[in-house]
A = this chain, B = another copy of it.
Amino acid sequence: MFKLIAKDKEARTGILKTAHKEVETPFFMPVATKTAVKYLDPRDLEEIGINAIISNAFVLSLRPGLKTIKKAKGIHNFMNYKGAIFTDSGGFQKIKDSFYIKSSDKGIQLKSPFDGKKVILTPKLCMKIQNTLSSDVAMVIDEMPLPNQTRKEVELAVERTHKWAKECLKHHKNKKQLIFGIAQGGLFPDLREKSAKFISSLKFDGVAFGGLAIGEPEQKTYKMINSQVKHFPENKVRYLMGVGSPRQLINAIAAGADCFDSTFPTQNARHATLFTSKGKLQIKNSKYQNDLNPIDKNCDCYVCKNYTRSHIRHLLKMKEANGLRYATYHNIYFINNLMKQVRAAIKQGRFNKLRKEFLKKYK
């Protein structure tokens, strides 16, 4: 459950209690779709100070399959991670052609990218999967409207999302597991409001902004957050799904969001874009060829304490696994450290100053 500790205007800090870990908010979750954050093992995550990650329930139900994870007594044991684990329902797979077939009132019809097998992901099945995985936080299945859908289509998606939210609550049986609702509404502020109010009225342990940061202009994202956040209860944690760029994180926290996940920092790392206290750094740039400085002089991470820009640049240019590992490690450390600084600033009433300074480097 969530305990609010301090507010600085709309920005909040608090503690989310889960079965495996108490996690201070705001926090960012690296993505471990298949029970692994790419290039970081659980020991790395612990060393970095990551207290929560998110996996994908539907993908895990296909591979390794529920039987295997049940045999290991849940996802924590299976992968040997001691922090909090969220599981996304799989509804987000809608944006991937390799998974999505069609939606109906019953659920979302998906196909396995491994063997083509078709499955209708209903609220009941979605809860059964997550109850079995025994993640700390289960996400409901929702009908996410795609960016260019009409108002009529988005209205239908909101109706389905609400119907499924109620059904998920009914079928949620794992008492150690929290369950979060997801509000939708596309890019229509009134539908966003309506959905926020409805989801807030149900007995969820946390609430989420769904279907954002999927290609819409960034100002629209903040507008949609603002139209929903005021209808979300103060005493529930607010999860903005799919956001992980440094700028969007700090702006969303300013708007009142508490928790985040995204492949953005890890994907950027693999594409040699590194986050530093002075802004983004394109490590493959030839000016770093003989640069013996760490990625970021102001960073205390294992990578910055041990390896130079020159070495990391070489490894990434050579596509060496160690280069991908160092880059990923640093970017996740940077985002996690940003969250730490943000929490301290909120407690001390200087969040907006921190944000203003930070945005100079991340326009």
Contacts and interface: CB of A to CB of B under 8 A. Distances in A.
Interface of A: 34-43, 63-64, 67-68, 71-72, 78-80, 289-290, 292, 302, 306-308, 310-311, 313-315, 317-318, 320-326
Question: What's the number of copies of this chain in the assembled complex?
Answer: 2
A321 B79 contact: no
B64 A321 contact: no
A332 to B, nearest CB: 14
A306 B80 contact: yes
B36 A323 contact: yes
Contacts of A323: 36
Contacts of A290: 67-68, 71-72
Interface SS, A side = helix
A35 B68 contact: no
Nearest to A37: B322
Contacts of A80: 306-308, 311
Nearest to A323: B36
Given A36-B323, A71-B310, A72-B292, 6 more contacts: A39-B325, A41-B322, A63-B317, A63-B318, A64-B313, A68-B314
A64 B314 CA distance: 6
A34 B314 contact: yes
A81 to B, nearest CB: 10
A132 to B, nearest CB: 14
A318 B59 CA distance: 11
Contacts of A306: 42-43, 80
